[in-house]
């Protein structure tokens, strides 16, 4: 009964737990914040652990021959998301200055559009993609923070690649890959666990979302989420399809705003104090974009997969009309 209900909703195995987690976190947080295993499993405190297990199990299925596709796919998604986010933000800044337009500053736009929700991407790739798609998250983790926002805003001298953070992100994948390549039976044993973790990751993601951010962010926050999804998304999908020669589902999966992006405006202001007056408004707008994209993107990705296919959901051939005489 529960499984049938979940399957009726696009990416329901992740979306429904995510929505439930956000509702509980917004209105009844005390229910799960009682400590011990309950808090560890049903709050955002468990997100890193759940994703770490996912990445490790994914690594066991990743063969050495898969490394080139990982770099290609991840690189295209990473660069295209940065390019569109920087282009929109810088254009707004050049035309309207630091105050931006319609209450949205270049700081808020670049922070939201260039940062993707890695957790959501991984969960979607577990549903629709293959091992290289999932492993591409190692590269995408580079945009989960202020790095690319600082680059786009001209933070020269501070755009150092966070090597330690990157190593920490790909560590579980590397360990799993080594063990999986040594012992294929070990890989077969752990491979299903990646999918099993999807509802747990979804709930933990939701437990880090406060629905009231939609209200706090105002219409500007909602517009920012729509820009991230419906302007940034098509550009990334275009690059994924015509440069990467892929169906495009992964492009939609990164048309999100990362939860960590909420802290980016403040981080940028520490580097360049001129942005300090815009930190408060940018922060709530980015938070609203996080909520909007987390809700929209799974449905859009599911729709796109049904239309164009993916490794786990091949496109069904269209049936041609058959004359009744031949039927």
Higher pLDDT, 67 or 32: 32
**pLDDT-wise least confident of 199-203, 229-233, 248-252, 270-274:** 270-274
CB contact at 8 A, 120 and 299: no
| Coil vs helix vs strand at 57 | helix
Q: How confident is the model at residue 186 (pLDDT cuts 50, 70, 90)?
A: confident
CB contact at 8 A, 247 and 129: no
pLDDT for 254: 95
| Coil vs helix vs strand at 104 | strand
What tens digit of pLDDT does each residue of 86-125 get? Answer: 899 888 888 888 888 888 888 899 889 998 888 789 888 9
How far apart CA 124 and CA 49 sit, in angstroms, is 18
pLDDT for 250: 95
pLDDT for 156: 32
Percent of the chain residues topping a pLDDT of 90? 20
Higher pLDDT, 256 or 17: 256
178-217 burial, b at 16+ Cβ within 10 Å, e below that, comes to eebeeeeeebeebeeebeebbbbbbbbbbbbbbeebbeeb
Residue carrying structure tokens 């909007």: 292
pLDDT for 46: 78
Mean pLDDT over each residue of the chain, to the nearest integer: 81
Distance of CA 302 to the CA centre of its chain: 14
């Amino acid at each position: 009964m529960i499984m049938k209900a979940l399957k009726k909703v696009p990416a329901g195995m992740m979306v429904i737990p995510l929505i439930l987690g956000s509702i509980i976190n917004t209105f009844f947080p005390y229910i799960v914040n009682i400590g011990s295993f309950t808090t560890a499993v049903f709050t955002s405190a468990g997100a890193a652990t759940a994703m770490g297990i996912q990445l490790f199990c994914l690594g066991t299925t990743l063969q050495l021959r898969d490394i080139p596709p990982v770099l290609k796919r991840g690189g295209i998604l990473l660069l295209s998301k940065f390019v569109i986010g920087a282009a929109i933000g810088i254009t707004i800044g050049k035309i309207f200055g630091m105050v931006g337009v319609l209450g949205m500053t270049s700081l808020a736009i670049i922070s939201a559009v260039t940062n993707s929700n890695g957790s959501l991407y991984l969960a979607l790739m577990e549903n629709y993609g293959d091992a290289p798609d999932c492993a591409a998250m190692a590269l995408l983790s580079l945009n989960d923070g202020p790095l690319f926002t600082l680059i786009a805003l001209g933070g020269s001298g501070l755009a150092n690649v966070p090597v330690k953070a990157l190593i920490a992100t790909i560590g579980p994948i590397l360990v799993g890959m080594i063990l999986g390549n040594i012992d294929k039976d070990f890989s077969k044993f752990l491979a299903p666990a990646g999918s099993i973790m999807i509802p747990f990751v979804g709930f933990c993601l939701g437990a880090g979302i406060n629905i009231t951010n939609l209200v706090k962010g105002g219409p500007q926050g909602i517009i920012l989420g729509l820009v991230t999804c419906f302007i940034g998304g098509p550009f990334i999908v275009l690059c994924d399809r015509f440069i990467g020669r892929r169906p495009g589902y992964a492009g939609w999966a990164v048309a999100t705003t990362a939860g960590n992006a909420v802290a980016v405006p403040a981080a940028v202001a520490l580097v360049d104090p001129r942005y300090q007056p815009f930190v408060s408004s940018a922060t709530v707008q980015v938070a609203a974009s996080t909520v909007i994209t987390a809700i929209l993107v799974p449905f859009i990705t599911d729709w796109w997969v049904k239309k164009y296919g993916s490794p786990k959901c091949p496109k069904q051939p269209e049936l041609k009309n058959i004359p009744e005489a031949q039927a």
